[in-house]
Amino acid sequence: MKALNIPTIDFVGKRTYAIIVSLALIAVSIFSLSTHGLKFGIDFTGGTLIEVGYEQDVNLSKVRNTLSEAKFKSANVQYFGSTKEILIRLEPQAVSSAKLSSKIIHLLGDDVDIRRVEFVGPKVGEELTNDGGLAMLYALIGILIYVAIRFEYRFALGSISALIHDVIITLGVFSLLQIEFDLTVLAAILAVIGYSLNDTIVVFDRIRENFLSTRHVDPAKIINGALNQTLSRTIMTSLTTLLVLMALFFLGGEIIHSFALALLIGVVIGTYSSIYVASSMILALGISKEDLLPSEKEEKEMDARP
């Protein structure tokens, strides 16, 4: 038989530092979000995006000149992935129309390879922005209800604060680095919500179990014990998830880049928050053994356990 070495790190004792770190990160994120805002992609702002490929390296200023001569002065031209591919972005014009892209493609000549054209009308963009916000809200509410039913309202509040923490900081990073925020990033953030919650629930499950199986112990100690017991699982799962995300980030191509990045950031923050934020929160809300006493039926099952 192998001796089991469950770590005894004092997570709960260090929660004051964690709270300071979290608050600082949130403050920076909110500051950046309110001053810089997010760099929304055309999915949300509306506009036109064209990705073209050339046989040889392209000269960006040449393309810019061609476009500005044809009165597309607001066109943003940049390399995309390599110097043989360029991305042209057009802000929404006074009159939005899918025809702009055809005009630009015509200007670029026949020998280019049209890799991608996206046009999003202003109305569609506004709808997506509203729907996206609503989706985030619905996800949070659904989770709140589920956790409140399965556990207790303090756990629900704890997990939701961890999620809001994760979402704000992930958005903050996107705002600080001014990385484009498009539909796929929104999807990634919703996936982060799912992931981070997964993590939190595992910890909570253990906290509940420990509360019920031991008697007269300080809640802080129980929570700390549960965090330590689940620590190696938390780390393992985060590592495997990070591994595949790295694969996506480096090999998945440009289109999936910011999606993978959002998940990478989200998984790291989510792992941290399920250890520090969620559990500190339920401790602060004053969780105790009495709150978790099961109904009679479950109690019998508990007693039956060895």
Partner 1 sequence: MNHYSGLRNALIAFFLLLSTLYALPNIFGSDLAVQVSSAGDAAIEQSDLTKITDTLKQKNIQYKSAALSNRRILVRFGDNASQLSAKDLLKTELGRNYVVALNLAPSVPQWLDSLGGRAMSLGLDLRGGVHFLLEVDMQAVLAMSIDKYYNELRTLLREGRLYKSIKKEGDNIAIRFKTLELKEKALARIKSDVSDLIVLETDNQDELLIQVGISDDAQKIAKSSALKQNITTLRNRVNELGVAEPIIQQQGLERIVVQLPGVQDTARAKEILGAVATLEFRLVDEKNDPQTAIQSGRTPIGSKLYYFKDGRPLLLKTRVITTGENITGASSGIDQENNIPMVNITLDSAGGRAMLDTTKKYLHHRMAVVFIENQVETITDEDGRVVLDKKGNPLKKRTTTKDIINAATIQGTFSSRFQITGIDSAREARNLALLLRAGSLSAPIEIIEERTIGPSLGADNIQKGVLSVIVGFVLVLIFMAVRYRVFGLVANVALTLNLVMIVAILSLLQATLTLPGIAGIVLTVGMAVDANVLIFERIKEELGSQSNIQKAISSGYDKAVLTIADANITTLIAALVLFSFGTGPIKGFAITLSIGIVTSMFTAIIVSRAIINKIYGGKKLEELSI
Task: Map the footprint of partner 1 across residues 78-107, applying CB under 8 A.
Answer: 91-99, 101-102, 105-106
Say if CB 263 and CB 244 are below 8 A apart.
no
Shortest distance in whole angstroms from residue 23 CB to partner 1? 26
* Closer by beta carbon to partner 1, 120 or else 173: 120
- Count of CB atoms within 10 A of residue 216's CB? 5
Query: If binding is defined by CB under 8 A, does position 3 make contact with partner 1?
Result: yes
Q: What is the residue-wise DSSP string for 170-186?
A: HHHHHHHTT-EE-HHHH
Vertex 211: Cα angle to 207 and 214 (nearest 5)? 130
Shortest distance in whole angstroms from residue 223 CB to partner 1? 16
* Closer by beta carbon to partner 1, 24 or else 247: 247
Shortest distance in whole angstroms from residue 19 CB to partner 1? 24
Shortest distance in whole angstroms from residue 17 CB to partner 1? 27
Task: Map the footprint of partner 1 across residues 175-234, applying CB under 8 A.
Answer: 183-184, 186-187, 190-191, 193-195, 197-199, 201-202, 205-206, 209, 229-230, 232-233
Query: If binding is defined by CB under 8 A, does position 125 make contact with partner 1?
Result: yes
Q: Which residues of 24-57 are buried (b: 16+ CB within 10 A; e: fewer)?
A: ebeeebeebbeeeebebbbbbbbbbbbbbbbeee
Contact window for partner 1 (CB under 8 A) among 59-67, 133-141, 164-172, 285-293: 133-141
Task: Map the footprint of partner 1 across residues 143-162, applying CB under 8 A.
Answer: 143, 146-147, 150
* Closer by beta carbon to partner 1, 217 or else 239: 239
Amino acid identity of residue 296, one-letter, is: E
Contact window for partner 1 (CB under 8 A) among 20-28, 256-264, 277-285, 293-301: 256-264
Amino acid identity of residue 170, one-letter, is: T
Amino acid identity of residue 274, one-letter, is: S
Among 19, 26, 30, 139, binds partner 1 (CB under 8 A): 139
Distance CA 217, CA 306 (A): 20
Calculate the CA 58 to chain-centre distance. Answer: 35
Among 14, 39, 212, 237, binds partner 1 (CB under 8 A): 237
Query: If binding is defined by CB under 8 A, does position 259 make contact with partner 1?
Result: yes
Query: If binding is defined by CB under 8 A, does position 10 make contact with partner 1?
Result: no
Burial classification of residue 226, based on how many CB atoms lie within 10 Å of its CB (0-12 exposed, 13-18 middle, 19 or more buried): buried
Residue 18's contacts (CB-CB under 8 Å, 6 or more residues apart) are: 276, 277, 280
Among 7, 37, 122, 294, binds partner 1 (CB under 8 A): 122
Give the pair of three-digit tokens for residue 148: 């409140």
